[in-house]
Amino acid sequence: GAMVRFLSAVIPGDGIGKEVVPQAIRVLDLLEELSDDIEFSYRYFPWGSQYYIKHGRMMDENGLRKLEEFDAILLGAVGLPSLVPDHITLRELLIHIRQGFDQYINLRPIVLLDERDCPLKGKKVNDVDMIFVRENSEGEYSGIGGVFREGSSEEIVLQTAVFSRRKTQKVVNYAYQLAQKRKKQLTSVTKSNALNYSMVFWDKIFNECGESFPNIKTDQYHVDAMSMHMLRSPELFDVVVASNLFGDILTDLGSVIQGGIGYAAAANLNPERTYPSMFEPVHGSAPDIEGKGIANPVAMIWTVKLMLDFLGQGELAQLILKSIRQLATEGRKFLTPDCGGEATTQGTTDYLLQVIRKNI
Ligand code: NAI
Ligand code: MG
């Protein structure tokens, strides 16, 4: 077939971001080597906390404009909490890109690869296979609020959650469509018993959108009950749709039931493709293990799988997931210590590359 070329912007960022990103690139390089009709090229951007310390900004002033031309953005992690406050690193790079590029969907697969990774008693691989659709551009993280009488004993702060009909509809519809392609089952996370404006509205949109998908079986759980059910009966869930905050918290919980944050991948999608989408692991810069060579590269490599899915390369995406699964089942000692293995970041990837070569 004709040659397909993909140009990705790569932002390794801080800490172990710089250690796991090169591993993901090794996987892409191998895929390019093994197939005759696909080519990946990259441009690196040195943005992050070190950049901030030098230039007073997390990214270039016209950074978004520079990123616009790419097919996708691969991001490692940001955060250098000893030197730069987390709300700056997070807001000025990650959230800036998510909001500037209208990446209003955050997609988070929670898939158990091997029983031995699951901390829940008696759960099998098939019991944990869900995907979260998290609202990613507004909700509780809209950044709107204020401080009144700052510093006084009468100090008051407000942090406002924003739910627009347009965005909520888009996110919920996206989740219904995804459910259509999977098990035709969709769970909505709510808290409309206490959040009498935002979550009552969320439920209303969820039910309105559902009228166009009569064949999808739906459930609605309050976020507190949901966190309980995810631990007791993860097999109840397939596609789950949640607001920004609820999705953030529940997907961290989800990462534990799939074997830890070292496996957790995320995609920040602009489904209309007006702007590039961004692919990043769920974990942060992990200052506690930085430089030790033991960061688990699987989450970052899994984000490449999500990128390939989004770029229409489903077969290569499946090849990566199949190979990661083999690593977790047959090659357990080649996992990093966080997953009970004895390998280094590099060693895990070495093994995975061999598996990919055999699988192609
Ligand atoms: P973290 O995810 O960096 O680390 C939490 C724990 O998980 C640590 O014990 C770490 O060693 C371990 N861990 C994380 N990723 C791992 C991997 N790939 N392999 C093995 N172990 C891994 O979260 P933490 O410590 O709360 O935050 C550290 C910095 O990262 C902060 O500045 C925070 O703001 C930032 N952060 C950035 C995120 C992002 O870039 N999307 C997400 C979460 C935190
Ligand atoms: Mg989080």
Number of domains in the chain: 2
Rounded CA-CA distance 315/309 in Å is: 8
Model confidence pLDDT, tens digit, residues 121-134? 999 999 999 999 99
| Cβ-based burial of 134 (10 A; exposed 0-12, middle 13-18, buried ≥19) | buried
Task: Classify residue 316: in a domain, yes or no.
Answer: yes
Determine the average pLDDT of the residues in 55-75.
Answer: 96
Judge if 236 and 286 occupy the same domain: no
Residue 136 near residue 107 (C-beta atoms within 8 A): no
Judge if 157 and 282 occupy the same domain: no
3-state secondary structure of 264: coil
- In the structure encoding, which two tokens stand for residue 153, read together? 């004993």
Sheet holding 239-242, edge to edge: 38-44, 4-13, 72-77, 277-281, 265-269, 105-111, 129-135, 239-242, 185-190, 217-222
The ligand with the least distance to the CA atom of 77 is: 1
Q: What is the mean pLDDT of the chain?
A: 96
Query: If you take atom 25 of ligand 1, which residue's CA is the nearest one?
Result: 286
78 in contact with ligand 1, CB cutoff 6 A: yes
Judge if 249 and 226 occupy the same domain: yes
pTM of the model: 0.94
Judge if 206 and 238 occupy the same domain: yes
Name the pLDDT band for 1 (thresholds 50, 70, 90): low
Ramachandran sector of residue 106 (left: φ over 0; alpha: ψ -120 to 50; beta: rest): beta
Please tell me the distance between residue 285's alpha carbon and the centre of ligand 2 in angstroms: 12
Judge if 254 and 300 occupy the same domain: no
86 in contact with ligand 1, CB cutoff 6 A: yes
Judge if 251 and 307 occupy the same domain: no
Model confidence pLDDT, tens digit, residues 165-186? 999 999 999 999 999 999 999 9
- In the structure encoding, which two tokens stand for residue 143, read together? 């950044």
Structural domain ending residue among the three candidates 236, 258, 280: 258
CATH number, domain of 307, equals: 3.40.718.10
Range of 351's domain?
A: 1-104+270-360
The ligand with the least distance to the CA atom of 285 is: 1
- Residue given tokens 């992050």 in the structure block: 48
Give the per-residue pLDDT at 36: 86
Model confidence pLDDT, tens digit, residues 137-159? 999 988 899 999 999 999 999 99
Task: Classify residue 263: in a domain, yes or no.
Answer: no
Rounded CA-CA distance 166/196 in Å is: 19
Task: Classify residue 165: in a domain, yes or no.
Answer: yes
Report ipTM (2 d.p.): 0.98
Give the per-residue pLDDT at 142: 86
Amino acid identity for residue 71 in this structure: D
